[in-house]
Structure 1
Amino acid sequence: MDRAQKITIAVSAMVVAGLMVLAAPPVMDAAGWAAARLASVGAEPAASPSPSEGGTLDGTEPGTAAEELVSVGNGTSIPAGGPGDCDEAAWIHMGEMNAWLYGELADQGVREFAAGEAGLDEEGRVVTYTVAPGDALYAISDRFCIANPHAIDTLNHTRMIQPGDVLLLRPNKALPWIPYFSPPHAPAGYQQIPYQNAVEAMSAAAQAGDIAAMRRIFEDDLAALFPNPDHANVVARALELDRLDVLRHMFA
């Protein structure tokens, strides 16, 4: 996927968003997996720096081809248009404790290596994707016009997609999302493998709808691995309230 190799990334400061949702009465339908995934943010990411502020990976000088780049928020610029046959590209952003989608997912149809089923919300928008045997990440990203394919597996807390996995493609910015590779503000030398293993276990239990197992994993393995206790408290609050919808988003 040549377009993905051209992507320019400029890292900007992120703030924790959506954490207050747990302190309020439930605002989402908790009637199962689909309901947990169908909420949409309803707002675009904040304005971001102009694409001309940074260079490009293919050697283009800043500002020489601004019309060929488009800002997708969070200080990130990508080539105009989209991957494959897409007219425009979508981009998955991941912040300190939240994630969101820039642009719109456009299903280009079943194809080789992306033959699974798209899950839609009530407005007909793509929200999830069920992995079929033989599927490949880059083909899935091309099918849905996602310009950063490896954000899909990171967003879904997995090193490798498997047949039957239900992948979140449209994260809800208003809900917390737990980072996969290391927690926010991890100190130098942080041992991320125990954290990552615990997050994967939480993800599997969330998909199974087993909140009791999630409580055990959190208390025994995960809670103490957050450098910031406030972040651990977000998970604890969702467990306390039995908010499976939020937990499934946190540990997609």
Structure 2
Amino acid sequence: MNRTGRVALGSGIAVVVLGLVMLALPAFEGIGDFAAREVAGAAAPATPTDTPADADADADAVSDPTPTPTPTVDDGSGDCPGQEASYQFGMVPGTLSADGIGGERTAQVGNAAAMRDRGARTGARGEVLSDDRGMYAYIVAPNDNLISIDARLCFDMGSLAGFNHVLGDAVQPGQRLILRPDPSIPWIEPYEPYDATVGMSTVDFNSTIYEIGAAVRAHDIDSARALWDRSLSGHLAPDAQDAATQALAAVDWRVLEQMFP
């Protein structure tokens, strides 16, 4: 090939190469822009999404517990005012038997001002009955117990049980517990008859007291009269004997429910 041909061939190749370079240039420019953006993105600090104040607020929200509701009376909150209410028991002067063993006993609410209803709670969800003079009875609800009832009403533990002839802790739904006794109605001591003598068995007397109480709560006058005639009549103090006899004859449930609660 002569010189002229070689020059022409070289010129043609140069033109082709130049054309290919021009065609590829936009792609290289795109790559350069992408790389530049990558470098810029790596160098620029990330924009924070939370300000320091927001971060502190988030930390507080995590660390502080959710506030609990204010306690209510249903939680047993509140205190009884000073000394708690209680039944005070005492002997009536001049009522001892010849042996000096038995006798008539009286009962009244001591420190009655302390008695109050602090609100229903577990074990004491029954109804409190009141009149214009205040609370006078409590109706036992299912699953109630004496400890919780005492706490709800501000009574000394065991006081309600003693006055209301409760055997142990066995209160029954629907049972009516006396909170404010009528002082004109005699209270019957459930453990010892009026005519008790040394060595005398009181088992029959004790059990009959509880049996007649159940009959009175059921308003079963026939059973109450039969139990009275069988084991109680003649074994109570004179005024209790007279009051019970009259109430049984007249079917006076108000008197009977206090004498045999």
TM-score of the two chains, using structure 2 as the length reference: 0.57
Return the alpha-carbon distance in structure 2 between the equivalents of residues 228 and 114 of structure 1: 35
Q: State the match for 2:64 in structure 1.
A: none
Structure with the larger helix share? 2
Query: Which AA in structure 2 matches 1:92?
Result: Y
Indicate the SS of the match to 2:123.
coil
Any conservation in 1 of the 2:188–2:236 contact (CA below 8 Å)?
no
Return the alpha-carbon distance in structure 1 between the equivalents of residues 147 and 81 of structure 2: 17
Does 1 or 2 have the higher relative contact order (CA < 8 Å, sep 6+)?
1
1:238 deviates by 2.5
Q: State the match for 2:160 in structure 1.
A: 152
1:229 deviates by 5.9
Return the alpha-carbon distance in structure 1 between the equivalents of residues 210 and 248 of structure 2: 17
Any conservation in 1 of the 2:127–2:140 contact (CA below 8 Å)?
yes
Indicate the SS of the match to 2:233.
helix
1:250 deviates by 0.7
Pairwise mapping of residues 148-187 of structure 1 onto structure 2 (< 5 A)? 149-159=157-167, 160-184=170-194, 186-187=196-197
How many residues align structurally?
167
The CA deviation string for residues 16-62 of structure 1, in whole angstroms up to 9 with x for no partner, is xxxxxxxxxxxxxxxxxxxxxxxxxxxxxxxxxxxxxxxxxxxxxxx
Any conservation in 1 of the 2:128–2:138 contact (CA below 8 Å)?
yes
Identical aligned residues as a percent? 32
Return the alpha-carbon distance in structure 1 between the equivalents of residues 174 and 230 of structure 2: 28
Q: State the match for 1:220 in structure 2.
A: 230
Pairwise mapping of residues 15-34 of structure 1 onto structure 2 (< 5 A)? none
Give structure 1 stretches of 5+ with no counterpart.
1-83
Runs (4+) of structure 1 exceeding 4 A deviation are 227-231
The CA deviation string for residues 71-120 of structure 1, in whole angstroms up to 9 with x for no partner, is xxxxxxxxxxxxx7111321112343432112232111111221221111
Any conservation in 2 of the 1:97–1:184 contact (CA below 8 Å)?
no
Call closer, same or farther: CA 1:138–1:239 in 2, change over 3 Å: same
Return the alpha-carbon distance in structure 1 between the equivalents of residues 236 and 144 of structure 2: 36
Query: Which AA in structure 2 matches 1:175?
Result: I
Call closer, same or farther: CA 1:86–1:210 in 2, change over 3 Å: same
Q: CA RMSD in A?
A: 2.3
1:126 deviates by 1.5
